[in-house]
Amino acid sequence: MSKEKVEEERKASKITRRQFAAGVAIAVASGAVGAAIRSATLRVKPGEVVTREVTKTVTKEVARTVEAKRKLTLGFVLGGYVSGSTWDGRFIVGAERLKALYPWFDYAYDEGVVLGGKDPAASARDLIETKGANLVDSSWEPGGVPAFHTVAKDYPDVYFFDTIGSDISSERNFSRYFIRQYQAMYLEGLVAGVLTRTNKIGVTVGPVCVQNYRRMAAFYLGIREANPAAKLYIKYVGEWYKPEVERDVSLALADLGVDVLTNYTDSTAPLEVCKGRGIWYVGKDTDIVSIGNKALNMDIIGKEPWGTTDVVAVTFDTRWEVLWNYYLKEYLAGIKNPAKLVFLGMHDYISLPADNPYVPGETKLLAVDLQTGGKIGVDAISPKARANIPSEIIELIKNRRAQMIAGVWDPFFEYELVSGGKGIEIPELNLPVPPKGTVVKPAKTVADDEFLLAKLNFQLDGIQLIE
């Protein structure tokens, strides 16, 4: 397949995503969401899973070509450290999995760039010039912005990409990305909503940013659907990794009577508070019960599990390897202008053999999914927790997950988003905080990628901020 043909297919895929948004809105009005999705997705046959995966034909052709000529190296500018982190550690877990999958793939990394006060630009240059990196990724937004804006122009043949906190600025060869973790967080909210006995659920939150408003919004939508009487309390740490403050914030929430806790930070401190106080923990980013499992490469993060299903009610796993796979395909296909925003969800995946160790018996590794102790979907819910969850909620979780995998349902399409009046102004977008009670996004309307990644700058009405 020629480079011109690949470029045409990628552009067609972008058209498909725009048609997807229009198709969903029309479909809900007519009561036929699934049909509209199928008709709006030009190359998907009835019954197929909607996915933005580049065609297998392209993958096989370019893989054979690159294997015969050279290796591709992905360099990581890691904001934090690999060991002991559900965030940076999970990046390297994903890279190891790709290395096992593709003999022509390799990776290198520089860790502690943000936490250690290093120069991200110098880190990126070193990965390119001494490690031969063809692609460079930053795990924390401050690792890529503003540094990659300059470095990308100096290395026009290298792909750069960076996670998104609130900023979505880019360059021709500098892309911005995230994974729709919020889809799994909505499902976790359904679990948390029925597990609480005090009707008080808490979140230990890192910095104030759109990423965290999006997370807590999805979690709260799930809570509210399962248990309208439950309240969500949040308190900020101010940083992604600061164990002593994470501990203090988690203790403060527990002192309020919170009996289910999650965190948008990276250390074990909130989990340790849950163990000490005997309250449920809801995990994020990584299957923490599987940490130490060599077959899953999770020994990279630590040698022992951080917790057991006696305290961990459920968690989700972010499969960054699916995202790297996306960029590798674009790079190998010779695309000079990669997508500016990449936002993969449950309907995106890597195909695997059924005997794979990561999701045994499954042939698709979803970009994000509920996963605890290696078990996925509703089976990821702790047996101890599941005994306290009504069967109708289990069925709802099962059905919503299936709908999101099929690409025909999303919590940010289904529900209205009403501002609670608290948030952050984003001057570069001329975006003030919407006043309390403002319906920013009506129900049954599409929340586009730019809105979810850069403009959801407010806390939902009903969430309780603890100063």
Same domain as 253, residue 240: yes
The percentage of the chain sitting over the pLDDT mark of 90, rounded to a whole number, equals 84
The answer to whether the beta carbons of residues 464 and 231 sit under 8 Å apart is: yes
Q: How far is Cα 458 from Cα 60, in angstroms, rounded to an integer?
A: 44
Report the pLDDT averaged over residues 53-62: 45
> What pLDDT sits at residue 212?
98
Report the pLDDT averaged over residues 386-400: 98
The alpha carbon of 453 is separated from its chain's Cα centroid by a whole number of angstroms, namely 11
Q: Is the predicted pLDDT of residue 10 greater than 50, yes or no?
A: no
Last-in-domain residue among 336, 351, 366? 351
Q: Is the predicted pLDDT of residue 150 greater than 80, yes or no?
A: yes
Last-in-domain residue among 304, 336, 351? 351
Last-in-domain residue among 306, 330, 351? 351
Q: How far is Cα 23 from Cα 43, in angstroms, rounded to an integer?
A: 15
Same domain as 157, residue 237: no
Cα-Cα-Cα-Cα torsion 257, 398, 308, 304, nearest 10 degrees, comes to -130
Give the count of beta carbons closer than 10 Å to the beta carbon of residue 172. 13
The answer to whether the beta carbons of residues 173 and 148 sit under 8 Å apart is: no
Same domain as 449, residue 409: yes
Q: What H or E segment, with its residue span, contains residue 195?
A: helix 181-195
Single out the residue of 447, 452, 416, 434 nearest to residue 213, CA to CA. 452
Q: How far is Cα 205 from Cα 220, in angstroms, rounded to an integer?
A: 14
Q: Is the predicted pLDDT of residue 192 greater than 60, yes or no?
A: yes
Q: How confident is the model at residue 62 (pLDDT cuts 50, 70, 90)?
A: low
Report the pLDDT averaged over residues 53-61: 45
Same domain as 173, residue 40: yes
Same domain as 120, residue 85: yes
Q: How far is Cα 151 from Cα 48, in angstroms, rounded to an integer?
A: 41
Same domain as 233, residue 114: no
- As a whole number, the mean pLDDT across the chain is 88
Report the pLDDT averaged over residues 97-101: 94
Give the count of beta carbons closer than 10 Å to the beta carbon of residue 145. 22
Residue with tokens 């250390």: 267
Q: Is the predicted pLDDT of residue 108 greater than 60, yes or no?
A: yes
Q: Is the predicted pLDDT of residue 58 greater than 90, yes or no?
A: no
pLDDT digits (tens, 9 = 90+) for 151-180: 999 999 999 999 999 999 999 999 999 999
The domain total for the chain is 2
Q: How far is Cα 225 from Cα 414, in angstroms, rounded to an integer?
A: 11
What residue numbers bound the domain in which 402 lies? 181-317+356-465
Same domain as 345, residue 371: no
Q: Is the predicted pLDDT of residue 189 greater than 70, yes or no?
A: yes
pLDDT digits (tens, 9 = 90+) for 196-245: 999 999 999 999 999 999 999 999 999 999 999 999 999 999 999 999 99
Same domain as 176, residue 242: no
Structure tokens at 264: 């948008």
Q: How far is Cα 443 from Cα 111, in angstroms, rounded to an integer?
A: 42
Residues 6+ apart with CB under 8 A from 336: 172, 173
> What pLDDT sits at residue 319?
98
Q: How far is Cα 202 from Cα 213, in angstroms, rounded to an integer?
A: 14
> What pLDDT sits at residue 360?
87
Residue 352 CB-half CA count within 13 A: 24
CATH number at residue 185: 3.40.50.2300
Same domain as 116, residue 10: yes
Same domain as 452, residue 378: yes
Q: Is the predicted pLDDT of residue 4 greater than 60, yes or no?
A: no
Helix (H, G, I), strand (E, B), or coil: what is residue 167? coil
pLDDT digits (tens, 9 = 90+) for 270-322: 999 999 999 999 999 999 999 999 999 999 999 999 999 999 999 999 999 99
Same domain as 141, residue 12: yes
Same domain as 159, residue 190: no
